[in-house]
C-alpha cells in the first residue's frame, strides 16, 4: 500500500504547501493529499495555508512536486453536495477540480455530503438532489478518467444504508469510496464493519485515530472530525485501524493510506507515520513508494 498524508496536518501551523512537500521528502513519503481553493485567499497568498489554489498552473505544480519526489494521491473538493447549496457552489467546484486534477497528475478527487441533515428537505429529496449532481460529475470524471470518491464524512455517508445507495448513483468504475476510519468511528459506526461491507468499492483511505476524551463526549453525536488532535496509534480507534488494514490487504487493496491528524508542525505526523509503517510491517503489508 502507498502512504500519503493530508496537508490538513499543517493547518494550525500556518505554513505553505511547500512545507508539507519538505516534510514528505524528509520522511521518505512520496504521496500527498490536499484541499483545493477555488479562488484567491490572502492566507494562501502569504504562505499561511498548506493547500492549493486552482489558479495555480497544475502542470507547473506537478513538475515542482516532482522535484521533491512527491505526487498527489488525492485532491479534496469536498464541498457538501447534500443541501441546497450543493448545486450552486459544490457542483461547479467539483467539475472544475476534475480537469485540474488530471493535469496535476492526480487520479482521485474527493467529494462528500454535509455534516448535518439538510434543513427544509426530506432525506429522499436530498438523495435525489445528490444523485443528479453525481451523474453530471461522473460524466466529466469518465471523460478525464479521474476517479471521484465519496468520503465517509456526513449525515448520509456515515450511514451504510445511504452510502450504499450513493455508491450506486452511477454505474461507473469512476465512482468509488474514500473510507475514513475516524469519521465512521466518531459517527457511532464500526469502521471494521464499514470496511467489510464496502471493501470492493474503496479507492482511497483516510487513516484517522480518535482520542479517548473526544470519543467519550462526541461519539454517536458527530459525523466527522475536522482535525484529529491524536497521533494515529495512540487513540481508541487504533485496533480498528489495524483490522481495517488487514481486511483491505486480504481484499487485494494496494492503494493509498492518507494520514490525517493535527501534525503539530510535523512531530505528531511523524509519530503517526512511524506507527503506520510499523503496523504495516507487522501485518506483512509492503509499503509501495
Question: Would you kindly state where each structural domain of the chain is located, as residue ranges?
Answer: 2-283
Terminus-to-terminus CA distance in the chain, angstroms? Answer: 8
> What's the distance, CA 190 to chain centroid?
18
pLDDT, average across residues 110-118: 97
Integer Cα distance of 35 and 17 in angstroms: 10
Amino acid 257: pLDDT: 98
Which CATH number applies to 2-283? 3.20.20.150
Residue 242 phi, psi (nearest 5): -60, -45
Average pLDDT over residues 42-71: 97
pLDDT of residue 226: 85
Q: Look up residue 187 and give its three cell numbers.
A: 459517527
Query: How far is residue 211's CA from residue 153's CA, in Å, rounded to a whole number?
Result: 18
Sheet holding 2-5, edge to edge: 2-5, 256-259, 202-207, 175-180, 147-151, 108-112, 71-80, 31-37, 52-53
Query: For 161-189, what is the mean pLDDT?
Result: 97
User: Residue 226: how many CB atoms within 10 A of its CB?
Assistant: 10
Q: Can you tell me the distance from the alpha carbon of 62 to that of 131, in angstroms, rounded to the nearest whole number?
A: 32
Residue 51: left if φ>0, alpha if ψ -120 to 50, beta else—which one?
A: beta
pLDDT over 90 (residue 227) = no
Q: Where are the beta strands (DSSP E) in 95-228?
A: 108-112, 147-151, 175-180, 202-207
Amino acid at each position: 500500500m502507498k502512504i500519503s498524508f493530508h496537508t490538513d496536518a499543517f493547518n494550525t501551523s500556518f505554513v505553505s504547501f511547500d512545507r508539507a512537500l519538505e516534510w514528505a521528502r524528509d520522511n521518505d513519503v512520496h504521496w500527498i493529499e490536499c484541499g483545493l481553493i477555488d479562488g484567491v485567499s490572502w492566507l494562501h497568498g502569504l504562505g499561511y495555508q498548506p493547500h492549493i489554489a486552482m489558479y495555480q498552473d497544475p502542470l507547473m505544480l506537478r513538475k515542482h512536486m516532482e522535484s521533491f519526489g512527491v505526487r498527489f494521491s488525492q485532491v479534496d473538493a469536498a464541498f457538501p453536495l447534500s443541501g441546497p447549496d450543493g448545486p450552486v457552489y459544490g457542483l461547479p467546484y467539483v467539475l472544475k477540480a476534475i480537469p485540474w486534477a488530471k493535469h496535476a497528475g492526480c487520479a482521485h478527487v474527493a467529494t462528500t455530503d454535509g455534516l448535518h441533515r439538510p434543513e427544509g428537505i426530506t432525506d429522499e429529496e436530498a438523495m435525489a438532489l445528490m444523485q443528479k449532481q453525481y451523474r453530471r460529475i461522473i460524466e466529466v470524471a469518465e471523460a478525464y478518467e479521474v476517479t471521484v470518491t465519496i468520503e465517509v464524512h456526513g449525515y448520509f455517508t456515515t450511514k451504510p444504508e445511504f452510502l450504499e445507495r450513493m455508491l450506486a448513483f452511477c454505474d461507473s468504475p469512476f465512482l468509488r469510496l474514500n473510507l475514513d476510519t475516524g469519521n465512521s468511528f466518531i459517527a457511532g459506526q464500526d469502521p471494521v464493519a464499514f470496511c467489510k461491507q464496502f471493501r470492493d468499492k474503496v479507492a482511497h483511505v483516510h487513516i484517522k485515530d480518535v482520542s479517548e476524551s473526544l470519543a467519550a463526549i462526541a461519539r454517536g453525536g458527530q459525523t466527522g472530525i475536522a482535525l484529529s488532535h491524536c497521533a494515529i496509534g495512540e487513540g481508541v480507534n487504533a485496533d480498528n485501524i489495524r483490522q481495517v488494514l488487514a481486511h483491505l490487504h486480504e481484499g487485494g487493496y494496494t492503494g493509498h493510506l492518507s494520514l490525517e491528524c493535527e501534525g503539530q508542525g510535523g512531530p505528531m505526523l511523524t509519530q503517526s507515520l512511524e506507527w503506520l509503517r510499523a503496523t504495516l510491517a507487522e501485518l506483512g503489508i509492503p509499503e509501495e513508494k
